[in-house]
Chain A
Amino acid sequence: MATGVAAWLPFARAAAIGWMPVANCSMPVAPGDNSRKQDELIVLNVSGRRFQTWRTTLDRHPDTLLGSSEKDFFYNEDTKEYFFDRDPDAFRSILNFYRTGKLHYPRQECISAYDEELTFFGIIPEIIGDCCYEEYKDRKRENLERLQDDQEDNKDLKLPHMNFRETMWRAFENPHTSTMALVFYYVTGFFIAISVITNVVETVPCGSTANQKDMPCGERFTVAFFCMDTACVMIFTVEYLMRLFAAPSRYRFMRSVMSIIDVVAILPYYIGLVMTNNEDVSGAFVTLRVFRVFRIFKFSRHSQGLRILGYTLKSCASELGFLLFSLTMAIIIFATVMFYAEKGSSSTKFTSIPASFWYTIVTMTTLGYGDMVPKTIAGKIFGSICSLSGVLVIALPVPVIVSNFSRIYHQNQRADKRRAQKKSRMARIRIAKSSSANAFLHSKRNGLIDELLELTGTEEDEQKLTKSRSLLASQHHHLLHCLEKTTAHEFVEEHVYEQNCLETALQGYPSRSPSASSRDSSAGSCCGRRAKRNLPLPSASTPPHAHPIATHHQGRLQELSAIHIQCGDRPSHAASRSSLNLKTNDGGRINCKSGRITTAIISLPTPPALTPDGDGLHGPGLRRPPPPPGPPAAPTVQTTASSAGANIIKVSSL
């Protein structure tokens, strides 16, 4: 429960008046407010600065230092105040947490100092309010990174033993992990550079030799260049095959861009090897050499910047497309105009509209080669308009692209951050909700154990187990308990609910056998009646007495009793004892046997008078052999149940 609204608990309890007339059973007894003392002011002396607040304000959070009895350790008898030797500035936010229910993080505080204060006062940082949570998390992360940087020297490879393939893949992806990987990385880089330079130098004229004309170096030193090429391609092939071997998902690796570049880089060589025999296609072979230039793209594995550039181009594709489209429009318009303007003049270079495209592009990008110039006056006018508009058309989308790029870049960063925070924030909210729900179920369980010990255990055991639960929490749980009684359903945890669903699905059909007799039962056996209809019995055909309970519980007694323990109510003894004496009719008994498996388990060794109360009786006798039944009706039950014989014994021995 959000203890910020603890002050409204009396209202919530008063609002429960709406449930009373519709409830068919009686409500559990409310927890007594033993401490009838008045609300008093508490003085908290934090390093000399005195804070004062009501005791009830601090009691709102009983699981913290100030809300629990832990603060008694700091009580100063002489001055009648609680003294803490801590930072008074940080204490302000902590005390405000009690007052308002929201924990704020003051920005001028150091993150580690603040964390220490929170830990000292027993407050978990996750409940920091949404307004300050992002700031807190950012500072915390920065701090963590700083600590990690300090420790990075110590951080050695203490990874689990990976197999050879995984090690290799890791070496390929992160060259800094081992020296071998680093060597490999540099060697491949070197050879890429060599290969690219070779391709370039190949075409440089090497100076004249005995032959007449200048030959490019490639033709002069064919063998040398061929050897160099072979060596590079060898290295590349080996590298590609090794990557292919080490890749965790070969199919995905083969589809990736980098591997395609690798393939395209080495393929021309092999094709060339195959095709040297065939003279006809040697022309095509020459053009294949062009693809060798793709080797330069292999550098993108070595350069982070290239990869980022590639990604941003991909992400700005729409803007680039728009730029291209608008340019094309302008080019077509102006080319058409220039063509028709220059049509008149003789020996004009503007032979067709496509021929005018070249002029338009050169003019619009303000290149102005001068190989095509308009000669007519109209042509010159339109030509100047073209060059002026060219500046505009090109200048306009470029800043858009640039700003787009920067926006996308920052957005990406922010989106990731926000997504990470959203997940953790949702998780926090879910945890808070489930913890408050589970608190109730926990207390029910503890109440169950209390019940057992009260019956069979000693006083010390009981006291040991009874935690000092705050009055607030017990009142809240009483409220939830009343709601359970009103609706005749119980709160369960999610996984138990799933378990039940699974079981009912396995059972198949719901049973209605005991339903008939239960209809006439009095209002007192409300809970049993309602519950019965919802719970299918596997052995619906067997007569409704002791048998079905024992039989269908054979295999699953363990888990059913486990389920029961989880769902057990926190019974109020007074209520159960009184209702014990109320009902004795058999109709009610049948009722609840089918309805509440738990009572069924209990009912066998205990008198039938107990059974009709679906709500009255849960704890006793479940975990240990129940005490010998007091009421005299006990023997009758034993006899009727004796037909189940061994089954009952099994049940009771549970």
Chain B
Amino acid sequence: MKAKNRDQSLSDSRELDGSYDQLTDSVEDDFELSTVCHRPESMDKLQEQTKFTKKELQVLYRGFKNECPCGVVNEENFKTIYSQFFPQGDSSMYAHFLFEAFDTNKNGSVSFEDFVFGLSIILRGTVNDRLNWAFNLYDLNKDGCITKEEMLDIMRSIYDMMGKYTYPTMQDDAPREHVESFFQKMDRNKDGVVTIEEFIESCKKDENIMQSMQLFENVI
């Protein structure tokens, strides 16, 4: 028997249902808002896979579930949550990149596991792990190297978060200049792209960056 497609079966059911009025009812489908409810794996498993203690996982999950009662974050929610930390600027692009970086299985939503894995790398990982993660964030198409265009997008998104009211006044070419200086620093063989090795090498040589990486030690 041929499987009817959904619309067909829908219209059939409508005809049978005498209460369906052709004139006034709209052709919208029934409410298909299946609220995806996702439960994370058990705490023990998460504790094995990440470097957080049980208490830390508890605190993280409570906060996560408070904002996203259904257990997963979709990109819209993600952007909304992130934008509340940056009231003056527009953080949606950067939040988008972050979302891409956190959503490791590319299913359009960030579950608690994704969330906690990402945080574990950033907050409890080695310097190499962190740099890897940052590289992954910058590499938008995940091809193993950062091009100037990708970096420009990232840079612009960071500058957008500052908003309009800055001192000194934000110039339009500020991101581009910053990208130039970044590539000058990172691109060793001057081939126009920054590979993961170049990135890690250059970052390790830069004292400022190394120092900043220590900031993540005591975030939680």
Choose among A23, A480, A523, A534 the residue that contacts B212 (Cβ–Cβ < 8 A).
A23
Q: Give the residues from 59 to 78 in chain B that come closer than 8 angstroms, CB to CB, to chain A.
A: 59-60, 62-64, 66-67
Interchain CB contact under 8 A, A483 and B167 = no
Q: Does A500 contact B (CB under 8 A)?
A: yes
Q: Does B20 contact A (CB under 8 A)?
A: no
Interface readout for B167-183 with A: 1 if CB under 8 Å, 0 if not? 11111001001100110
- B68's closest neighbor in chain A, by CB? A8
CB neighbours of B171 from chain A (8 A) = 533-534
Given contacts A22-B155, A490-B167, A497-B164, contact A2 B84 (CB under 8 A): yes
Interface size for A (C-beta < 8 A) is 70
CB neighbours of B209 from chain A (8 A) = 20-21, 23
Interchain CB contact under 8 A, B134 and A5 = no
- B179's closest neighbor in chain A, by CB? A22
CB neighbours of B131 from chain A (8 A) = 21
Q: Does B24 contact A (CB under 8 A)?
A: no
Measured CA separation A486–B94 after assembly (Å): 14
CB neighbours of A347 from chain B (8 A) = none
- A433's closest neighbor in chain B, by CB? B87
Measured CA separation A645–B64 after assembly (Å): 62
Measured CA separation A99–B67 after assembly (Å): 11
Given contacts A13-B219, A24-B208, contact A486 B199 (CB under 8 A): no
Q: Give the residues from 248 to 300 in chain A that come closer than 8 angstroms, CB to CB, to chain B.
A: none
Tally the A-B contacts, defined by beta carbons under 8 Å: 186
Measured CA separation A345–B60 after assembly (Å): 99
Measured CA separation A326–B119 after assembly (Å): 73
Q: Give the residues from 178 to 212 in chain B that come closer than 8 angstroms, CB to CB, to chain A.
A: 178, 181-182, 185-186, 199, 203, 206-209, 211-212
Measured CA separation A32–B178 after assembly (Å): 31
CB neighbours of B87 from chain A (8 A) = 1, 433-434, 436-437
Measured CA separation A479–B94 after assembly (Å): 15
Interchain CB contact under 8 A, B174 and A38 = no
CB neighbours of A168 from chain B (8 A) = none
Interchain CB contact under 8 A, A504 and B169 = yes
Interchain CB contact under 8 A, A491 and B208 = no
Q: Give the residues from 86 to 110 in chain B that come closer than 8 angstroms, CB to CB, to chain A.
A: 86-88, 94, 97-98
Measured CA separation A19–B63 after assembly (Å): 24
Q: Does A39 contact B (CB under 8 A)?
A: yes
Measured CA separation A22–B203 after assembly (Å): 10
Q: Does A206 contact B (CB under 8 A)?
A: no
Choose among A5, A9, A500 the residue that contacts B167 (Cβ–Cβ < 8 A).
A500
Interchain CB contact under 8 A, B167 and A567 = yes
Given contacts A4-B67, A8-B63, contact A496 B203 (CB under 8 A): no
**Minimum Cβ distance to chain A for residue B60 (Å):** 7
Q: Does A11 contact B (CB under 8 A)?
A: yes
Interchain CB contact under 8 A, A490 and B166 = yes
Q: Does A14 contact B (CB under 8 A)?
A: yes
Interchain CB contact under 8 A, B166 and A480 = no
**Minimum Cβ distance to chain B for residue A527 (Å):** 10
Q: Does B215 contact A (CB under 8 A)?
A: yes
Measured CA separation A38–B161 after assembly (Å): 34
Given contacts A437-B88, A480-B86, contact A489 B119 (CB under 8 A): no
Q: Does A30 contact B (CB under 8 A)?
A: yes
Interface readout for B107-129 with A: 1 if CB under 8 Å, 0 if not? 00000000100110011000000
Given contacts A486-B158, A497-B167, A534-B171, contact A479 B66 (CB under 8 A): no
Given contacts A14-B123, A487-B158, contact A20 B212 (CB under 8 A): yes
Interchain CB contact under 8 A, A489 and B81 = no
CB neighbours of B161 from chain A (8 A) = 483
**Minimum Cβ distance to chain A for residue B55 (Å):** 7
Measured CA separation A589–B170 after assembly (Å): 23
- A566's closest neighbor in chain B, by CB? B167
**Minimum Cβ distance to chain B for residue A571 (Å):** 15
Interchain CB contact under 8 A, A500 and B169 = yes
- A598's closest neighbor in chain B, by CB? B167
Interchain CB contact under 8 A, B219 and A18 = no
Interchain CB contact under 8 A, A1 and B94 = no
Interchain CB contact under 8 A, A27 and B98 = no
Measured CA separation A17–B158 after assembly (Å): 12
Q: Does A448 contact B (CB under 8 A)?
A: no
Interchain CB contact under 8 A, A15 and B169 = no
Q: Give the residues from 429 to 477 in chain A that come closer than 8 angstroms, CB to CB, to chain B.
A: 433-434, 436-437, 476
Interchain CB contact under 8 A, B63 and A18 = no
**Minimum Cβ distance to chain A for residue B137 (Å):** 5
Given contacts A487-B174, A489-B166, A492-B165, contact A22 B158 (CB under 8 A): yes
Interchain CB contact under 8 A, B130 and A17 = yes
Interchain CB contact under 8 A, B59 and A489 = no
Interchain CB contact under 8 A, B165 and A497 = yes
Interchain CB contact under 8 A, B60 and A1 = no
Interchain CB contact under 8 A, A21 and B199 = yes
CB neighbours of A6 from chain B (8 A) = 63
- B137's closest neighbor in chain A, by CB? A18
Q: Does A7 contact B (CB under 8 A)?
A: yes
Measured CA separation A494–B165 after assembly (Å): 6
Interchain CB contact under 8 A, B165 and A491 = yes
A8-B81, A487-B174, A497-B166 known, 19 other contacts, Cβ within 8 Å: A2-B84, A11-B119, A14-B123, A15-B122, A17-B122, A17-B130, A19-B158, A21-B186, A22-B155, A22-B182, A23-B209, A27-B211, A486-B158, A490-B166, A500-B169, A523-B181, A526-B181, A534-B174, A595-B168
24 A-B interface contacts by CB (under 8 A): A4-B66, A4-B84, A7-B66, A9-B85, A10-B60, A14-B123, A16-B215, A18-B158, A20-B213, A22-B155, A23-B208, A30-B215, A32-B218, A33-B218, A56-B59, A480-B85, A484-B162, A487-B158, A491-B165, A492-B167, A526-B181, A531-B168, A534-B174, A595-B168
Partner-A contacts on B (CB < 8 A): 55, 59-60, 62-64, 66-67, 81-82, 84-88, 94, 97-98, 115, 118-119, 122-123, 130-131, 133-134, 137-138, 151, 154-155, 158-159, 161-171, 174, 177-178, 181-182, 185-186, 199, 203, 206-209, 211-213, 215-216, 218-220
Partner-B contacts on A (CB < 8 A): 1-2, 4-27, 30, 32-33, 38-39, 54, 56, 99-100, 433-434, 436-437, 476, 479-480, 482-484, 486-494, 496-497, 500-501, 504, 523-524, 526, 530-531, 533-535, 563, 567, 595
6 closest residue pairs by CB, A with B: A7-B63, A534-B168, A497-B165, A489-B166, A20-B212, A26-B208
